[in-house]
Chain A
Amino acid sequence: DAGITQSPRHKVTETGTPVTLRCHQTENHRYMYWYRQDPGHGLRLIHYSYGVKDTDKGEVSDGYSVSRSKTEDFLLTLESATSSQTSVYFCAISDPEGAQSPLHFGNGTRLTVT
């Protein structure tokens, strides 16, 4: 399995609080992604990164920001959590071919916003 670690695995937080999720990889892959998965919607891309300090928005980026200061770490921040951001969040990586390559996922973070 690809070396991808997400932390925390579970988190419960209150509406309005900031939350940061971490994704750490040991594969030295260029591309990293954050997805959310909700019933009835499947996996949707939030943000992705194609290198250190290079990021771009995905389909559902509102309310989220990301940072990538090192190749191995990709952080997802919810500046002010809302109940609609209750979801399962998956980080993924792909090899230097990026767009042509399959993704490999971390084991997810289950976030509940009360």
Chain B
Amino acid sequence: RKEVEQDPGPFNVPEGATVAFNCTYSNSASQSFFWYRQDCRKEPKLLMSVYSSGNEDGRFTAQLNRASQYISLLIRDSKLSDSATYLCVVNMFRGSQGNLIFGKGTKLSVKP
């Protein structure tokens, strides 16, 4: 199993749609999980951290399933401005400093 794996997409959805992304990870000892958003030719920006109890930030909901080793991101009422690549990030705990491993990203395109 790859360390962090995402469906590359693209996900093409109409405005107002609900879309969900999943991300699987290989290390059951991982403790930290994040979703980043990256616009074309820009730097990744933190969208939200993912907590064990799940967390919500406006239209965005993140969940963690430790038993199945995946995290998810749900976007409700999609906006054109949500079009971007969404990166899943997992701390793999290599050595004493830890190491954040990035998935290759899922591309979302929201159409009018």
Task: Please count how many residues in chain A sit with their CB below 8 Å of the partner chain's CB atoms.
Answer: 24
B104 in contact (CB, < 8 A): yes
Task: Please count how many residues in chain B sit with their CB below 8 Å of the partner chain's CB atoms.
Answer: 22
In the assembled complex, the Cα of A50 lies from the Cα of B35 at a distance in Å of 23
> Interface-forming stretch among B58-66, B68-76, B93-101?
B93-101
B97 x A41 contact (CB < 8 A): no
B20 in contact (CB, < 8 A): no
A105 x B97 contact (CB < 8 A): no
B44 x A43 contact (CB < 8 A): yes
A98 touching B43 in the complex, CB below 8 Å, given contacts A43-B87, A43-B102: no
In the assembled complex, the Cα of A108 lies from the Cα of B40 at a distance in Å of 12
A41 touching B104 in the complex, CB below 8 Å, given contacts A90-B43, A90-B44, A105-B43: yes
User: In the assembled complex, which residues on chain A have CB atoms less than 8 Å from the CB atom of B95?
Assistant: 56
A42 x B105 contact (CB < 8 A): yes
Min CB distance A59 to B, Å, is 8
Min CB distance A106 to B, Å, is 6
A56 x B87 contact (CB < 8 A): no
Q: How many A-B pairs with Cβ below 8 Å?
A: 53
Min CB distance B79 to A, Å, is 21
B34 in contact (CB, < 8 A): yes
A42 touching B98 in the complex, CB below 8 Å, given contacts A99-B93, A105-B43: no
B32 x A99 contact (CB < 8 A): yes
In the assembled complex, the Cα of A48 lies from the Cα of B99 at a distance in Å of 10
User: In the assembled complex, which residues on chain A have CB atoms less than 8 Å from the CB atom of B32?
Assistant: 99-102
Determine which residue in A35, A58, A101, A104 has the highest number of CB atoms from chain B within 10 A of its CB, and name it: A101
12 contacts between A and B (CB under 8 A): A40-B104, A42-B87, A43-B44, A43-B87, A44-B102, A45-B99, A56-B95, A90-B43, A102-B32, A102-B34, A105-B44, A108-B43
Chain A interfacial positions (CB closer than 8 Å to B): 31, 35, 40-45, 48, 50, 56, 58, 90, 98-108
